[in-house]
Amino acid sequence: MILRKYEELMDRIQVTDSMRSRILNNIRAAGPEPVPQRPALRLYRRALAAAACFALLVTGVFFFFPLQSPPVEGFPSPSLSNPVGDITEAASAEELSRLVGFEVSDLEGLPFPVEEKTYTSHWNQLAEIQYTGQDQTAVYRKAPAAEDISGRYDVFDSTIEQTVRHTTVLFKGNSGQYNLANWTEGDYSHSLYLSQGIPLEDFTQLISQLLP
C-alpha cells in the first residue's frame, strides 16, 4: 500500500515540455563540443611500439633532422563548459587549482600504475582528481574544511583513526583492507578513495607522503 502511494507520488514528477525545452536549449547553447572517442591506451601502446620500430630504422634521420612538427603535449581531456557552471573538467592540476581557487597537487606513490588522470572542479569548491589504472581507480578530493568530502556512502566494517605526521586521519575499510582516508589539514579537508583496499600500514605510508 505504501509503495503504491510512493509510486503515485513519484509519477507526479515528470519532465514538462518547458523543462525539456530549457534543458535542450541549454545543452545546445553551451553543451560539450563533439569530441572524438577517447583513444584506448592499447592504441597508444600500439602506436608507440610502431613508432619505436620506425624510429630504429631511421635513427640517423631522427638524429640529424628532428621532426619539424610541434610536439603534441599530452592528450588533453575534452573540457566542458557546463551551462550551470557546476562541474568543469580541467586539463591539469594547475588548471584545477585556478578553477577552485586553492592549490591542488597530483598524488605520488599510488599503489598501482596510473594510466589516466581526470581533473574535475565541482561548483568551483571541490577539487577532484581521479586516477585510473588497469583495473582500479583512486579518487582524491580537496575542499574547504568539511566533515567528509569523499562522497562515498559505502558502509565499511572497520573505521580507525590514526595520527599521521601530526594530522588525524580517519581510515575506513573492510576485512583488513582499507579503501578510504579522510583528513583535515589547516583550512582544507582531503579524502582519498582506493577502489581496491590496501593494508592500513600501506595506506598510512601513502598518506604520510601527502602530508607536510
Partner 1 sequence: MESYLILEPLWVNRLLDGVSRAARALFARSAQPEQAPADRTDGREALNQRAEQLLDRYGNSILRLAYSYLHNMSDAEDILQDTLIQFLKATPSFENSSHEKAWLLQVAGNLSKNKIRYNKLRHSDELDESLAEEQRTDLSFVWEAVKALPEKYREVVHLFYYEGYPTAQIAQILGRKESTVRSDLRRGRMQLQQILKEAYDFEKV
Give the interface with partner 1 as residue ranges (CB under 8 A): 1-10, 12-15, 19-20, 22-24, 26-28, 31-39, 43-44, 47-48, 50-52, 54-55, 59, 62-63, 66-67, 69, 71-72, 75, 78, 80, 82-84, 86-87, 89, 122-123, 125-126, 143, 146, 149, 151-155, 174
Please report how close the Cβ of residue 209 comes to partner 1 at its closest, in angstroms: 17
Element (H, E) at 119: strand 116-122
Closest to partner 1 by CB, 14 vs 163, is: 14
Please report how close the Cβ of residue 24 comes to partner 1 at its closest, in angstroms: 6
d(CA 199, CA 192) in angstroms, rounded, equals 14
Alpha carbon of residue 66 to chain centroid: 36
Closest to partner 1 by CB, 2 vs 186, is: 2
d(CA 105, CA 117) in angstroms, rounded, equals 12
Backbone φ and ψ for 61, nearest 5 degrees, come out as -65, -45
Return the closest-CA partner of residue 87 out of 40, 62, 120: 120
Closest to partner 1 by CB, 44 vs 211, is: 44
Please report how close the Cβ of residue 163 comes to partner 1 at its closest, in angstroms: 26
How many H-runs (helices) and E-runs (strands) does the chain carry?
Answer: 6, 8
Please report how close the Cβ of residue 106 comes to partner 1 at its closest, in angstroms: 15
Secondary structure letter of residue 80 according to DSSP: -
Please report how close the Cβ of residue 83 comes to partner 1 at its closest, in angstroms: 7
In the block, which residue shows the cell 513519484? 10
Closest to partner 1 by CB, 191 vs 204, is: 191
